[in-house]
Amino acid sequence: MPTRQLRIAPAAPEDVADALAALRAEVGIPAMYRAEARDEAVEAARGDLKDFRQDRRDLDLVTIDPPGSMDLDQAVHVATSGHGYVVRYAIADLAAFVSPGGALDAEVHRRGVTFYGPDTRTPLHPPVLGEGAASLLPGEDRPAVLWTMALDSSGELTSASVTRAVVRSRARLTYGEAQTALDSGTAPEPLVLLADVGRLREARERDRGGVSLAVPEQEVLQRPDGTFGLELRRTVPIEGWNAQISQLTGIAAARLMREAGVGLLRTLPPAADDDVARLRRTAAALGIDWPEDAGYTDVLAGVESRRAAHAAFLTEATTLFRGAGYLAFGVPGPDGGAKVALPDDASHAALGVEYAHVTAPLRRLADRYATEVCLAQSAGRAVPGWVLAALPGLPGTMATAARRAAAFERACVDIVEAALLAPRVGRRFEGVVVSADGEPGADVVRRGEVMLREPAVRARVQGTELPLGERTKVTLAEASVAERRVLFTLP
């Protein structure tokens, strides 16, 4: 599921840049790749495509990503089948470049994921691969893992297979370019069909009780007078439709793994009652109607990221989806004991279905291994030994990486919100208290969180009176970039 996204443009002010640099060191995000790993990456980038692969350079694949993206994991093509649709999804094949047990393999295990900051990102793989030889850049022959998925006329998945191939993307589209082409009627047929499939898959997701969040990107802009402003980048429909193709592939992968009796699923427990209650109070803070008998999926289905209050609500809704992890099954547990059995139902609660991560190997370590299981099952051969050996430890490796990424992200939120609010210390803002600890009482200082109406910021608040779910005035007492701290007070 998506998490908070923040970006500073055009460049981070000096105090913010210093705070972000200190944060990276504190969290332990590697600044550089070890020399042996860099050397392996450079050598791998010089490799050729001699290994057996299907030649699918005939497919009119395109990538659809944010502007400026160079780490292109996925390229898509959608066609009609007479009874439904055929989706072909090419995924960057990192196993063609990373040798199991090598220095580069050890380096990406050390990182686990790409770390995204508001000023820059720290990639999982060296740029010579992640933005070069392994990336599905347009006009370039690339090794890929090609998924072929058949859907019926309602968008239900009827069959899926996956194989290695050589592909050549035709174009690198931004979300804005793709949406403009669709809106103007100039989009090629595969893009129009992608939109059709995306809509159908969204409907099937709602039928399952699942929900996807089109979380907008927060952008902190420096004004000419030196003060800061916060804008929320609007999402467009193609972003959700494109994401549905990735989810479809993850669902197909989970099915193949269940058939194989071995694999790595992405899991998520149901939303906690306290988190749902907190989100309901956030809706009140932002003026979003939430009928008493409606579930959170009903409310989320009706919000629009292009509206500022709704965008803030979507961002806060990510707090429902905590506790995500990975389940390695069909292999011994990390302690070397008996094989881990797959439960009868290992659904991802937010999606309402079993699901696996296989579509972002440039940015997530786990995807490379899960993909190999699917390739083996689809080809009717045994899963490679190096994959089986690594699976038991991957949930722990990914959990560690996720904790570091989450800690980094939380602190980044504090830094950029402090930068935004620093010139306004002492001013009063309107907001709603969305959480509070302890019980009210005379002279008892309570602590909680307040959601401002404008700007759309959620921060710490303290006071003897914290009226949950009620609109109130709070005073900005502190906004420190260096200490990553924002604090509001109530009498």
Residue extents of the structural domains in the chain: 6-271+321-417, 422-489
Question: Which positions ≥6 away from 440 have C-beta within 8 Å?
Answer: 446, 464, 465, 466
Question: Looking at residue 394, what is its pLDDT?
Answer: 97
Question: Which positions ≥6 away from 114 have C-beta within 8 Å?
Answer: 71, 121, 122, 123, 124, 362, 363, 364
Question: Looking at residue 102, what is its pLDDT?
Answer: 97
The neighbour count for residue 299, using CB atoms within 10 Å, is 19
Whole-structure pTM value: 0.88
Question: Looking at residue 219, what is its pLDDT?
Answer: 62
Position 289, amino acid: D
* Spatial contact of 450 and 458, defined as CB atoms under 8 Å apart: yes
Question: Which positions ≥6 away from 50 have C-beta within 8 Å?
Answer: none
Cis peptide before 455 (omega within 30 of 0): yes
Question: Looking at residue 2, what is its pLDDT?
Answer: 41
* Spatial contact of 250 and 355, defined as CB atoms under 8 Å apart: yes
Question: Looking at residue 1, what is its pLDDT?
Answer: 40
Coil, strand or helix: which one is 274?
helix
CATH architecture of the domain with range 422-489? Beta Barrel (2.40)
Position 173, amino acid: L
Give pLDDT tens digits along the chain (491 positions): 444 556 665 555 678 888 888 999 999 998 899 999 999 999 999 988 767 789 999 999 999 998 889 999 999 999 999 899 999 999 999 999 999 999 999 999 999 999 988 778 899 999 999 999 999 999 999 999 999 999 999 999 999 999 999 999 999 999 999 999 999 999 999 999 999 999 999 999 999 988 887 766 666 555 666 555 566 666 789 999 999 999 999 999 999 999 999 999 999 999 888 889 988 988 887 788 999 988 888 898 888 766 767 766 777 788 888 889 999 999 998 888 888 999 888 999 999 999 999 999 999 999 999 999 999 999 999 999 999 999 999 999 999 999 999 899 888 888 888 888 888 999 999 988 877 776 665 567 888 888 887 787 888 999 988 887 777 899 999 999 989 999 999 87
